[in-house]
Amino acid sequence: MTAASHTAFLTARALRAFLRVPAYLVMNLIQPIIWLLLFGQLFKSVVTIPGFSGGANYLTFLTPGIVMMMALFGSAWAGTSYIQDMDRGVMDRFLSSPTSRGALIVATMLYQAVLTVIQTLVVLGVAWLAGARFDGGWPGVAVLLLSAVLLTFIFAAFSNAMALLARAQTALIAISQVISFPLMFLSSAIMDTGLSPAWVRQVARFNPFEWAVAAGRGALQAAPDWASVWSHLGLLAALAVVMTWLATRVFRIYQRSA
Protein backbone atom coordinates (compact mmCIF):
# COMPACT_ATOMS: atom_id res chain seq x y z
CA MET A 1 0.00 0.00 0.00
CA THR A 2 1.15 3.54 -0.72
CA ALA A 3 1.48 6.40 1.76
CA ALA A 4 -1.63 7.95 0.21
CA SER A 5 -3.62 4.77 0.92
CA HIS A 6 -2.36 4.72 4.50
CA THR A 7 -3.38 8.35 4.88
CA ALA A 8 -6.87 7.65 3.51
CA PHE A 9 -7.43 4.68 5.83
CA LEU A 10 -6.14 6.52 8.92
CA THR A 11 -8.24 9.61 8.14
CA ALA A 12 -11.32 7.41 7.71
CA ARG A 13 -10.52 5.78 11.07
CA ALA A 14 -10.49 9.17 12.80
CA LEU A 15 -13.69 10.27 11.08
CA ARG A 16 -15.48 7.06 12.09
CA ALA A 17 -14.50 7.69 15.70
CA PHE A 18 -15.86 11.23 15.39
CA LEU A 19 -19.17 10.05 13.92
CA ARG A 20 -19.67 7.83 16.96
CA VAL A 21 -19.53 10.94 19.18
CA PRO A 22 -20.95 13.84 17.09
CA ALA A 23 -21.52 15.85 20.29
CA TYR A 24 -17.78 16.59 20.11
CA LEU A 25 -18.44 18.95 17.20
CA VAL A 26 -21.22 20.75 19.10
CA MET A 27 -19.01 21.19 22.17
CA ASN A 28 -16.24 22.66 20.03
CA LEU A 29 -18.70 25.16 18.54
CA ILE A 30 -20.23 26.46 21.76
CA GLN A 31 -17.32 28.63 22.91
CA PRO A 32 -16.56 30.23 19.49
CA ILE A 33 -20.21 31.11 18.97
CA ILE A 34 -20.47 32.59 22.48
CA TRP A 35 -17.34 34.65 21.82
CA LEU A 36 -18.66 35.74 18.43
CA LEU A 37 -21.99 36.95 19.80
CA LEU A 38 -20.65 38.29 23.10
CA PHE A 39 -17.62 40.14 21.74
CA GLY A 40 -19.65 41.29 18.76
CA GLN A 41 -21.99 43.12 21.11
CA LEU A 42 -19.50 44.23 23.78
CA PHE A 43 -17.07 45.85 21.35
CA LYS A 44 -19.35 46.92 18.51
CA SER A 45 -18.70 50.62 19.27
CA VAL A 46 -14.96 50.15 18.69
CA VAL A 47 -15.53 50.97 15.00
CA THR A 48 -16.01 54.62 16.00
CA ILE A 49 -12.53 54.90 17.53
CA PRO A 50 -10.20 57.00 15.33
CA GLY A 51 -7.63 54.76 13.71
CA PHE A 52 -9.82 51.66 13.52
CA SER A 53 -9.55 50.40 9.95
CA GLY A 54 -11.70 47.29 10.18
CA GLY A 55 -14.82 48.75 8.62
CA ALA A 56 -18.16 49.92 9.96
CA ASN A 57 -19.41 46.56 11.25
CA TYR A 58 -17.39 45.07 14.10
CA LEU A 59 -19.08 41.68 13.78
CA THR A 60 -17.87 41.43 10.18
CA PHE A 61 -14.37 42.35 11.36
CA LEU A 62 -14.49 39.86 14.24
CA THR A 63 -15.79 36.79 12.39
CA PRO A 64 -12.51 35.80 10.63
CA GLY A 65 -10.72 36.15 13.95
CA ILE A 66 -13.20 33.82 15.66
CA VAL A 67 -12.85 31.30 12.81
CA MET A 68 -9.07 31.24 13.25
CA MET A 69 -9.38 31.03 17.03
CA MET A 70 -11.56 27.97 16.59
CA ALA A 71 -9.07 26.42 14.15
CA LEU A 72 -6.15 27.17 16.47
CA PHE A 73 -7.67 25.80 19.67
CA GLY A 74 -9.10 22.72 17.94
CA SER A 75 -5.84 21.78 16.21
CA ALA A 76 -3.73 22.49 19.29
CA TRP A 77 -5.48 19.52 20.93
CA ALA A 78 -4.92 17.19 17.96
CA GLY A 79 -2.12 15.36 19.73
CA THR A 80 -4.47 14.01 22.40
CA SER A 81 -5.48 11.25 19.95
CA TYR A 82 -1.83 10.17 19.80
CA ILE A 83 -1.61 10.05 23.58
CA GLN A 84 -4.76 7.91 23.71
CA ASP A 85 -3.22 5.56 21.13
CA MET A 86 -0.04 5.40 23.20
CA ASP A 87 -1.96 4.55 26.37
CA ARG A 88 -3.87 1.78 24.57
CA GLY A 89 -0.80 0.34 22.85
CA VAL A 90 -2.16 1.22 19.41
CA MET A 91 0.76 3.51 18.57
CA ASP A 92 3.32 0.77 19.21
CA ARG A 93 1.44 -1.54 16.84
CA PHE A 94 1.39 1.19 14.18
CA LEU A 95 5.14 1.77 14.50
CA SER A 96 5.94 -1.94 14.35
CA SER A 97 3.93 -2.23 11.13
CA PRO A 98 4.69 -0.89 7.62
CA THR A 99 2.39 2.08 8.28
CA SER A 100 3.84 5.27 6.81
CA ARG A 101 5.03 7.69 9.49
CA GLY A 102 4.04 10.60 7.29
CA ALA A 103 0.56 9.12 6.88
CA LEU A 104 0.15 9.00 10.68
CA ILE A 105 0.85 12.75 10.80
CA VAL A 106 -1.07 13.83 7.69
CA ALA A 107 -4.18 11.78 8.54
CA THR A 108 -4.56 13.60 11.84
CA MET A 109 -4.11 16.92 10.08
CA LEU A 110 -6.72 16.06 7.44
CA TYR A 111 -9.18 14.93 10.11
CA GLN A 112 -8.76 18.21 11.96
CA ALA A 113 -9.14 20.11 8.68
CA VAL A 114 -12.50 18.45 8.00
CA LEU A 115 -13.73 19.53 11.44
CA THR A 116 -12.40 23.05 10.84
CA VAL A 117 -14.29 23.38 7.55
CA ILE A 118 -17.58 22.19 9.10
CA GLN A 119 -17.20 24.46 12.13
CA THR A 120 -16.22 27.44 9.99
CA LEU A 121 -19.33 27.14 7.82
CA VAL A 122 -21.51 26.99 10.96
CA VAL A 123 -19.83 30.06 12.47
CA LEU A 124 -20.19 31.99 9.21
CA GLY A 125 -23.88 31.11 9.14
CA VAL A 126 -24.37 32.30 12.73
CA ALA A 127 -22.45 35.51 11.99
CA TRP A 128 -24.59 36.18 8.91
CA LEU A 129 -27.77 35.68 10.93
CA ALA A 130 -26.41 38.07 13.56
CA GLY A 131 -25.85 40.80 10.95
CA ALA A 132 -22.36 40.28 9.52
CA ARG A 133 -22.03 40.77 5.78
CA PHE A 134 -19.07 39.66 3.68
CA ASP A 135 -18.54 41.61 0.47
CA GLY A 136 -15.96 39.15 -0.82
CA GLY A 137 -18.69 36.62 -1.57
CA TRP A 138 -17.99 32.93 -2.14
CA PRO A 139 -14.40 33.47 -3.37
CA GLY A 140 -13.66 35.27 -0.12
CA VAL A 141 -15.28 32.48 1.91
CA ALA A 142 -13.18 29.91 0.00
CA VAL A 143 -9.97 31.78 0.87
CA LEU A 144 -11.09 32.07 4.49
CA LEU A 145 -11.60 28.28 4.57
CA LEU A 146 -8.19 27.73 2.98
CA SER A 147 -6.55 30.01 5.56
CA ALA A 148 -8.25 28.15 8.41
CA VAL A 149 -7.22 24.76 6.97
CA LEU A 150 -3.58 25.81 6.59
CA LEU A 151 -3.56 27.13 10.16
CA THR A 152 -5.06 23.82 11.28
CA PHE A 153 -2.32 21.90 9.46
CA ILE A 154 0.39 23.95 11.18
CA PHE A 155 -0.85 23.51 14.72
CA ALA A 156 -2.11 19.95 14.32
CA ALA A 157 1.40 18.95 13.21
CA PHE A 158 2.88 20.90 16.11
CA SER A 159 0.47 19.28 18.57
CA ASN A 160 1.30 15.82 17.23
CA ALA A 161 5.01 16.47 17.68
CA MET A 162 4.51 17.74 21.22
CA ALA A 163 2.37 14.70 22.06
CA LEU A 164 5.10 12.34 20.85
CA LEU A 165 7.70 14.18 22.92
CA ALA A 166 5.66 14.87 26.08
CA ARG A 167 3.60 11.62 26.06
CA ALA A 168 1.23 13.03 28.68
CA GLN A 169 -2.09 14.73 28.12
CA THR A 170 -1.64 17.23 30.96
CA ALA A 171 1.68 18.36 29.51
CA LEU A 172 0.19 18.71 26.03
CA ILE A 173 -2.73 20.77 27.35
CA ALA A 174 -0.36 23.05 29.26
CA ILE A 175 1.85 23.59 26.21
CA SER A 176 -1.17 24.28 24.02
CA GLN A 177 -2.59 26.86 26.42
CA VAL A 178 0.75 28.63 26.87
CA ILE A 179 1.15 29.01 23.11
CA SER A 180 -2.42 29.53 21.89
CA PHE A 181 -3.54 32.50 23.98
CA PRO A 182 -0.48 34.72 23.34
CA LEU A 183 -0.73 34.02 19.60
CA MET A 184 -4.40 34.99 19.67
CA PHE A 185 -3.94 38.26 21.56
CA LEU A 186 -0.81 39.24 19.61
CA SER A 187 -2.88 39.50 16.44
CA SER A 188 -5.79 41.40 14.94
CA ALA A 189 -8.29 38.62 15.72
CA ILE A 190 -10.23 40.74 18.20
CA MET A 191 -8.79 44.22 17.79
CA ASP A 192 -7.28 46.13 14.89
CA THR A 193 -3.53 46.14 15.49
CA GLY A 194 -3.55 49.78 14.37
CA LEU A 195 -4.93 50.54 17.84
CA SER A 196 -2.38 48.31 19.58
CA PRO A 197 1.09 49.26 20.89
CA ALA A 198 3.81 49.37 18.25
CA TRP A 199 5.54 46.27 19.64
CA VAL A 200 2.34 44.24 19.21
CA ARG A 201 2.17 45.26 15.55
CA GLN A 202 5.78 44.18 15.07
CA VAL A 203 5.24 40.79 16.74
CA ALA A 204 2.05 40.25 14.72
CA ARG A 205 4.06 40.42 11.49
CA PHE A 206 5.76 37.14 12.43
CA ASN A 207 2.70 35.48 13.97
CA PRO A 208 1.27 32.64 11.82
CA PHE A 209 -2.08 33.11 13.51
CA GLU A 210 -2.11 36.72 12.27
CA TRP A 211 -1.18 35.54 8.76
CA ALA A 212 -4.33 33.41 8.70
CA VAL A 213 -6.54 36.17 10.10
CA ALA A 214 -5.15 38.74 7.64
CA ALA A 215 -5.59 36.44 4.64
CA GLY A 216 -9.14 35.43 5.57
CA ARG A 217 -10.29 38.91 6.50
CA GLY A 218 -8.63 40.49 3.48
CA ALA A 219 -10.33 38.09 1.07
CA LEU A 220 -13.76 38.87 2.52
CA GLN A 221 -13.48 42.57 1.69
CA ALA A 222 -15.21 44.15 -1.29
CA ALA A 223 -11.87 45.00 -2.94
CA PRO A 224 -9.30 42.53 -1.58
CA ASP A 225 -5.58 43.27 -1.66
CA TRP A 226 -4.81 39.97 -3.36
CA ALA A 227 -1.06 40.49 -3.20
CA SER A 228 -1.27 40.62 0.59
CA VAL A 229 -3.74 37.72 0.74
CA TRP A 230 -1.61 35.40 -1.39
CA SER A 231 1.60 36.34 0.39
CA HIS A 232 0.06 35.41 3.73
CA LEU A 233 -1.30 32.17 2.29
CA GLY A 234 2.15 31.38 0.92
CA LEU A 235 3.71 31.86 4.35
CA LEU A 236 1.10 29.60 5.91
CA ALA A 237 1.61 26.90 3.28
CA ALA A 238 5.39 26.99 3.70
CA LEU A 239 5.13 26.74 7.48
CA ALA A 240 2.62 23.88 7.19
CA VAL A 241 5.12 21.91 5.08
CA VAL A 242 7.93 22.58 7.56
CA MET A 243 5.82 21.59 10.59
CA THR A 244 4.65 18.40 8.86
CA TRP A 245 8.24 17.44 8.13
CA LEU A 246 9.33 18.18 11.71
CA ALA A 247 6.43 16.21 13.18
CA THR A 248 7.32 13.23 10.98
CA ARG A 249 10.94 13.41 12.15
CA VAL A 250 9.80 13.35 15.77
CA PHE A 251 8.45 9.85 15.15
CA ARG A 252 12.04 8.65 14.90
CA ILE A 253 12.78 10.06 18.36
CA TYR A 254 9.66 8.43 19.76
CA GLN A 255 10.36 5.08 18.09
CA ARG A 256 13.97 4.94 19.35
CA SER A 257 12.87 5.57 22.93
CA ALA A 258 9.60 3.58 22.96
Angle, helices 137-166/226-257, rounded to nearest 10 degrees:
20
Give the domain extent around 20: 3-257
**Contacting residues for 66 by C-beta, under 8 A, at least 6 apart:** 32, 35, 36, 39, 123, 127, 189
- Summarised one tens digit per residue, pLDDT across range 98-120 is 777 788 888 999 999 999 999 99
Look at the chain and report how many structural domains it folds into.
Answer: 1
- Summarised one tens digit per residue, pLDDT across range 199-244 is 999 999 999 999 999 999 999 999 999 999 999 999 999 999 999 9
Q: Is the pTM of this model over 0.75?
A: yes
- The whole-angstrom separation of Cα 192 and Cα 14 is 37
